[in-house]
């Protein structure tokens, strides 16, 4: 184990480099008092970086010395490691809450990954709902600077109080000069300059972590995070993403995407159609509107399954604040509502070969086809970890005897727990680093959707069956895009493949049911036999059942 002086040396070096990065910020061209603005940005940069370095140093010390007295495979080690994970995650949470902005986004990103220690996911998941708005005068300055006119010349009305606030922007309701109601999304001031400083600090810290903890190779996360945020900071790109998604779902009457007002949109201001509705997880409003929660969950899974398996163009941040439900007044039928998809800043266009392989993967997951799973898993970069993909996506191991959506038996759970106890952060790092970035996107999206459907009370079997259906539809397509435009041949093949898949599933489920029923009857008969035998002969018959 390295000594304390080594940890302190690396932390001090990191602090020096981070400070060197932030004390000479780029010029702020949009402020008249540029010198003062630069000095303030420098001060904030040093403060933010210092907090990050402090958190890194304390967490490093905790990991190095809290576990050093335990054998790596002992019960005490596992308990102590879980406690260190929790303490470290809580420090990172405090850092994110103090620095806000991109640190909130980074914390949200980590909290949405399902392949890191569960303590981090549990602690950091609270960041999904954290946001503080900026004062109106600062927002007004951004709008007028971007659109080149006073707010009064652009809008008949602009509410000073935001209707929504996130880590990078806030949204205001407005009325256009022609009377149309719109939503105006405004990026917070000076985010671009702050972004460069924060990402540089994160990059330095990730390298320092790799130096101190050779098993923790997560340096690849920073450039991936940087690419995603660069796209999210460009509101013109967000508008294009929204329009592409609207075209993709043009034939889906229940899916609504806001129209973009391009004459009032720039890279930092996005003006769009105002969409009515409430958060998808607002159970009280769903009940008051007479909307079936399970129908909402099913449509949600269908929309994102079509994105992934068919369009290959995926919304990367489907948290509850970005998905609204709008009741259809007087509408009849089960789906008496529209699903409104908002915030189109984070999108990923999947590689066509990945889309096809991911469709094959899901078909293999549903059928527990070990040969197909190994082959596709290898192509997708999972390597020998492919056998854990069924657990990640379907909640049951590869050799499971449980029915689809029923989780694991106690025996399977104990066996898996024993295997995973021997996993190190190096194993997690190796697994995640080997996956294509497209895979990480769909993993994150799947995790967020599962959280929503869980709140809505939807059974996991529904999610699995919907994904299986769209996987075979996507596999039948000749190319990415709307499955309804692929032609009769692809349509017929999709119907056949899905019918075959469902038939095989039902046979599996039926045989599982009979097996469980047979076992129950057999155990009952043995119990009766034992009682009878004991009554006459005074002893029990030993049985292996």
CB atoms within 10 A of CB 132: 11
Q: Within 13 Å of residue 322, how many CA atoms lie on the same side as its CB?
A: 17
* Residue 351 a catalytic site member: no
Sheet holding 255-256, edge to edge: 255-256, 337-341, 323-327, 278-279
Given a contact cutoff of 8 angstroms between Cβ atoms, the answer to whether 232 and 343 are in contact is: no
- Distance CA(438)–CA(348), nearest Å, equals 7
* CA nearest neighbour of 435 among 215, 129, 115, 140: 115
339 membership: H or E segment, kind and range: strand 337-341
**Element holding 352 (H helix, E strand):** helix 352-367
Q: Which of 192, 234, 267 is nearest to 29 (CA)?
A: 192
CA angle 23–60–70, rounded 5-degree value: 175
Q: Where are the alpha helices (DSSP H) in 183-263?
A: 191-212, 221-232, 235-248
- State the Cα torsion 534-539-544-545 to the nearest 10°: 20
Tokens of 483: 């499955």
For 331, how many CA atoms within 13 A lie in the half-sphere containing its CB?
A: 15
Among candidate residues 234, 317, 338, 357, the one labeled active-site is: 317
d(CA 197, CA 218): 19
Active site residues: 317
């Amino acid at each position: 184990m390295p000594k304390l002086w080594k940890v302190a040396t690396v932390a001090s070096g990191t602090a020096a480099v981070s400070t060197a990065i932030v004390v000479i910020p780029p010029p702020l061209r949009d402020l008249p008092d540029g010198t003062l603005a630069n000095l303030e940005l420098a001060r904030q940069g040093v403060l933010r970086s210092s907090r990050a370095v402090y958190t890194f140093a304390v967490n490093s010390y905790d990991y190095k010395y809290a576990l050093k007295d335990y054998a790596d495979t002992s019960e005490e080690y596992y308990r102590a490691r879980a406690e260190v994970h929790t303490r470290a995650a809580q420090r990172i949470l405090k850092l994110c809450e103090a620095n806000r902005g991109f640190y909130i986004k980074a914390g949200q990103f980590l909290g949405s990954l399902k392949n890191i220690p569960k303590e981090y996911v549990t602690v950091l998941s609270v960041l999904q709902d954290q946001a503080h708005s900026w004062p109106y005068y600062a927002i007004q300055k951004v709008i007028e600077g971007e659109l080149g006119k006073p707010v009064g010349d652009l809008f008949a009305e602009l509410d000073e109080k935001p209707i929504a606030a996130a880590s990078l922007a806030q949204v205001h309701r407005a009325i256009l000069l022609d009377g149309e109601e719109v939503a105006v999304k405004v990026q917070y001031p000076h985010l671009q300059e702050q972004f460069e400083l924060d990402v540089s600090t994160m990059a330095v810290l990730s390298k320092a972590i790799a130096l101190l903890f050779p098993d923790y190779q997560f340096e690849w996360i920073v450039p991936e995070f940087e690419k995603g945020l660069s796209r999210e900071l460009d509101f013109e790109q967000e508008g294009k993403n929204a329009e592409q998604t609207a075209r993709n779902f043009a034939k889906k009457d229940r899916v609504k995407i806001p129209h973009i007002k391009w004459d009032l949109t720039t890279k930092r201001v996005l003006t769009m159609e105002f969409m009515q509705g409430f958060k998808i997880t607002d159970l009280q409003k769903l009940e008051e509107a007479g909307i079936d929660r399970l129908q909402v969950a099913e449509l949600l899974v269908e929309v994102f399954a079509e994105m992934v398996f068919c369009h290959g163009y995926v919304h990367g941040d489907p948290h509850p604040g970005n998905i609204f439900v709008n009741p259809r007044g007087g509408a009849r039928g089960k789906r008496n509502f529209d699903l409104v998809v908002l915030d189109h800043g984070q999108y990923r266009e999947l590689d066509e070969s990945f889309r096809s392989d991911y469709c094959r993967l899901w078909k293999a997951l549903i059928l527990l086809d070990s040969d197909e799973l190994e082959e596709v898993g290898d192509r997708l970069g999972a390597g020998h970890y492919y056998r854990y993909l069924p657990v990640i996506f379907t909640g049951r191991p590869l050799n499971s005897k449980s029915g689809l959506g029923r989780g694991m038996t106690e025996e399977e759970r104990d066996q898996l727990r024993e295997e995973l106890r021997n996993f190190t952060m190096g194993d997690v790092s190796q697994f995640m680093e080997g996956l294509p970035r497209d895979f990480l996107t769909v993993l994150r999206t799947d995790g967020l959707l599962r959280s929503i459907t869980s709140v809505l009370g939807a059974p996991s079997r529904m999610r699995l069956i919907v994904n299986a259906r769209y996987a075979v539809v996507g596999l039948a397509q000749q190319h990415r895009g709307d499955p309804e435009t692929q032609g009769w041949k692809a349509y017929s093949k999709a119907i056949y493949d899905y019918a075959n898949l469902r038939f095989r599933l039902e046979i599996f489920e039926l045989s599982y049911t009979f097996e469980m029923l047979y076992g129950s009857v057999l155990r009952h008969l043995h119990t009766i036999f034992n009682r009878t035998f004991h009554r006459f002969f005074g002893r029990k018959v030993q049985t292996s059942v």
